[in-house]
Amino acid sequence: MPELPEVETVRRGLEPVMTGHTIARADVRRPDLRFPLPAQMAERLTGKRIDGLRRRSKYILADLSSGETLLIHLGMSGRMLVSGTMIGDFHHDHPAPEKHDHVVLDLDDGARITFNDARRFGAMDLLATAQAESHPLLASLGPEPFGNGFSEEYLAGRLQGRTMPIKAALLDQRLVAGLGNIYVCEVLFRAGLNPARAAGALAPDEVSRLVPLIREVLGEAIDAGGSSLRDYRQAGGELGYFQHSFRVYDREGQTCATPDCGATVARIVQSGRSSFYCPHCQS
């Protein structure tokens, strides 16, 4: 599933194409994705100007001139593809319709935004902009990793007394929004922390390392356009490249990336997810 860097990369690709433009025509081609689509979705979108495009955790939020916000979640295989306009140095013509093109937005300047989702684990909803933070998908989310609310003091307070593994704690969206399996593995490697360590047992200096490293790893991933594993693509259809920088994720059996370490990257399963780590570097 796309994590914060992938969603932020898609948002950045969509922003110059969508913001300030009007949806001339909305074509909603099925009644549901992971959840039922909102009633009269096409009518509620058509003719509305897109005033802004923002991200909350792993969700893209398009604020409309109607006072409603279009919430978009990419799910496992969802893609927001742009055609009929320039993206960077390239013009993308409108492609032939595909089987899994479920929602198509034609903008007033000829650009087209297509939501394609083969597995239909994605989601879309329309909600009142003023009450967006109270939406069931957003209400319980923790602070954004790059926001002022996510600090060393905050994290230390939230981890205090918790017996769950630090890997599970950082994946808890109520603690910090947007982190997923890939980037938590990479953060814990850089922090030298074993993913099975109890969150509440970390020393103060160990907790203090996590906040800047979370921002560092996420920032590098955003700069690289995210990590392309299986289905993820950027808005223009391009791949992300951060997977070429993985130090532990999906490297089971390979030599640790730390110079002169020589240990082998291991994998354990925690709550049904694979955790990759170096037994020598991460204590």
Count CA atoms within 13 Å of residue 99 on its CB side.
3
* 171-203 b/e (C-beta count within 10 Å ≥ 16 → b): beeebbbbbbbbbbbbbbbbbebbbebebbebe
Backbone angles phi, psi at 132, to 5 degrees: -60, -40
Query: For this structure, is 273 an active site residue?
Result: yes
Please count the other Cβ atoms lying within 10 Å of the Cβ belonging to residue 124: 23
Residues ≥6 apart with Cβ < 8 Å to 87: 13, 17, 235, 236
Query: For this structure, is 3 an active site residue?
Result: yes
Q: Are 209 and 172 in contact (CB under 8 A)?
A: no
Which residue is catalytic, options 48, 56, 58, 112? 58
Query: For this structure, is 98 an active site residue?
Result: no
Query: For this structure, is 56 an active site residue?
Result: no
- Please list the active-site residues: 2-3, 58, 273
